[in-house]
Structure 1
C-alpha cells in the first residue's frame, strides 16, 4: 500500500509503551531540552537509518530515539537531541513541508531559548535536506518504484510528488495536539515528583522527632551523671574529714560551734529532735489520711465501674434480645443513604472529651469492621512512622477487639508517637465509633 503524504497517521500516544520508552525530563539536562525536537507522523516504511540521514543534514545529532509499542513495533513518533540550536532551527523549518508528512515541535523551554537565535525567524528551508527527503520519499510514495529499486538494487526512478491530502490547518492542529501531549507528560512527571517530595517530608519529620527524643535522653543521662559525680565527690570529702577527725585537736582549736558553747549545741540538738518527731508524726497522720482517701476513691471507682459494666451488659443483652426478635433492614434511596451517613458523621464528637466519653457499641464490632480498621491502621502508621509496623498494628487491634478504653490505647501510643498521639487516637476512635454506629443503624 503506497503512503500518501499527510494521510491520517496513527494517533500519537495511543500506545502502552514500556517504561524504557517513556520520556522522563529528569533524565535530561536543561541544555538537552533546549535542543530537543519531537518528530511525529513518521511513515511506517521509513526506517531509523533513513531518518538519521535527514537529521544529520540538519545538524549534529546527540541522540535519536523512536518510541515503540508494548509489542516492540515502532510508532510514528520519536525525539531527537541536537548538539546545537541551529540543528533544531534547520529541522523545524525544513522537515515541516507541505510535500512531506512530518510534524516537528519542541518544548516551550526550547522555543524561548531559540527566539534569541538570529536564525530563528528565517523561513528558508535547507536545500540539501529537501533533496535527501525527496530521494527517500520517492520509493515510499510509489510502491512499484520501490519494488523495481529492490529488484535491480539501484535507485528508484524519481516521480513527481503527489499533492498533499490534508491542509496546513489540519497539520497545525495536530502540532497543537502534539504540544498538549508533551505537556501531559510533564504534568505526570510533576505529580510523581510531588509524591516523592511528600514522602521525603514525612521521612524528614519522623527523623527530626527521633533526633529530638535522642537529645532529650542524652540530656537526662548527662544530668544524672553530673549528679552522681557531685554526690560521690561530697561523699569522699565527708569520709576524708571524719576519717582523720581528732576530737581533742578540734576542742583545742575551738573552731567548731559545739566546742565553743556545748550547752547551746545540746539545746539545738534537742530542739531539732523535737521538730523532727513532730514532722514524722504529722507525716504519718498525712499518710494515714491520704491512704484513707485513696481507699475511699478506689472503692468509689470500683463501684462506678461495676455499675457501668452492669449497665453495658444489660444494654448488650437488651439489644441482643431485640436483634433476635426481628432483623433491622433499611431500604433507602441513594440520596437518603448519603444523608443518613452525613448525619451520623456530624453526630460523632471531634474533641478529646467527647470521644473519650462516647459509649462504643462493641456488640456490632465484627470481622468486616476489624478488617477495615486494620487497613486504616496500616495506612496511618505508615504515614506517621514511615514504615508498616505490623507488631504495633496487631497490638492496637488486640486492644480494640478486647474492648479496651480509648485512654488505655492513648497511654500506650504516647510513648511512641509523642506529640502526634492525640491526633492519631482521635482519628482511630472516630472510625471505631462510625463503623459500629453505621452497622447499628443498618447503613
Structure 2
C-alpha cells in the first residue's frame, strides 16, 4: 500500500492499544497509521498516510477564516481581494436561512504559499502584518479591520512548511506586488467604486463601437442601394426620351445642319455620351469596390472576435493544465515528506511531547475515529452497490444482445424456409352447389332453425373485464380526480411522531429511481435550510439510512449531534415525504 495517494484514509482500528514494538522506535506492522496494521495516528495537523482524513485534509490545512466583513460589501469584492494574495480555490461566505450573507466566511487556497502570503498581507496578527480596514456600504459608514485567522492545525502545518522552505528575494518581491494590489483594491472599496468597473466600462465601450460600425455599414448599404435604383430609373427615362425624339432630331438635322454644326459638332455629342457611359461604369466599379471593402472589414471584425474567444479558451485550458501539474507536484512532495515522517515516527518521543490526541485523550480519539470509520464503511458500501449495479447492467445488456441475435437468426431461417416452399397451383371448380346463408335476423329465426335442426347450441360465456377496469382505473382518471385523490392521501398521513413511526411503509415501492428523483432533492433542500450549506456527506448518510430501512427513531439519534433539536422535526418531514411517495407510487397517482 502506498503511504500517500490512496482515495481513502487507512487508520489503525478503533480500540486498538499500542502494540509491542519488536525493533527500536518502529511499531509493529510499520509506521503508525500505515497500511492495515495496528499502529498510531499520524501527527495532528498533518494528513495521514494513504489519504486525507476529514479534519486534517489538505483542503482544511489551506483554509483561512475571514471575519469582521462590514455590511453591504458584496462577495465579489472580497473574492477579488482574496484572489490578489494567491491562488484562491474556493471562497464560501456563510449565509443565514433567509439567504442573507453573514459577516464571515472561509477561504480555501491551493497551496501553502498563498496561505502564508494572505496572512502576511491581510492579517494583523502576524509580526509584520498591519491588516486592512474596510468601510461598510449599508449607509452606516462603519469601519472594521478585516480578521484573517488560521486555526491550530493550519498554523502547525504552515510552521513545518516554513521550516522546510527558504524564503528568497523573489518571494519578497511577490509580497510587495501583492501588497500594492491589495492596497489598490481596498482603496477602491473604501471609495465605493467597483474594482471591476474599469474592465466593465472597456467591454461596454467595445460593444458600443461594434454597434456603431454595424449601423454605419447598414446605412451605407441602404444608401448605395437607393442610388443604384435611382440611376436605373434615370437610365430608363433617358432611353425612352431618346427613342421618342429620334424623328425630330433627324428632321432638325437637315434643316439646321449649318447652324447645328456651328453650335455643337457631332463629335462633341458623341464624346459627351461616351463620357456619361464612362461615368456610370466608374461609379459602378467604385460601388463594387466599396462593397468589397465593407465585406472584408466585417469579416475581419468577426475574425478578431473569434480569435479573442479562442485565445481566452486556450488560456483557460493552459491554466487548468498548470493547476493539474501543480497538484501533481504537490502530491509528490507530500508523499515523500509523509513517507519520511512516518518512517521516523517514534512512540516514546511523541508520548513525551503530548501533542497528539491519541496520547492525550484516548476515548475522544476513538470517538472521532468511529465517525471516520463509519464514513469509510458507507463509502465502501456505496462502491459495492455501484459495482453490483454495473455488473447487473452489463449482464442485462449481454442478455439483450443475445436475444436480438437469436431473433435475427430465427427470422432469417424462416424467410429461407418460406422461399423454398413450392407454390402449388390453385384449381377453380365452378360446378360446386350454392350454399345458402342462414338468416342473420333476430333471435326468433335462430330459435326456429335450432328447433328444426335439433342440434344443441353452444353456450356463450360472458367476458369479465373487472380486472382490466381496475387496472385502468387510474390511467383513465381525469386531472381533477387525480388531484382530489392526492389531497386525500396527504390528509391521511399522520402528523404526530408516534403515528408516523408506527406507519407501515411500503418498502417494496422504494427503489433507487424514487430515492434519486424525489427524496434526494427534498433532503438536500432541507439540509440547506437548516445548516446553510449543502453537505454531501450528511445527505448521503441520511439516504443510506433510508435505503437500509432504518427506524426513524435511530435516524433521529444519529442526527442529534449535527442538527440538535431540529433533528426530530427534520426526520418527521422526511418520513412524511417517504410515506407520500411510496403510497403515491403504490396507488399509481
Structure 1 length-normalised TM: 0.29
Structure 2 length-normalised TM: 0.22
Write 1 or 2 for the structure with the bigger share of helix: 1
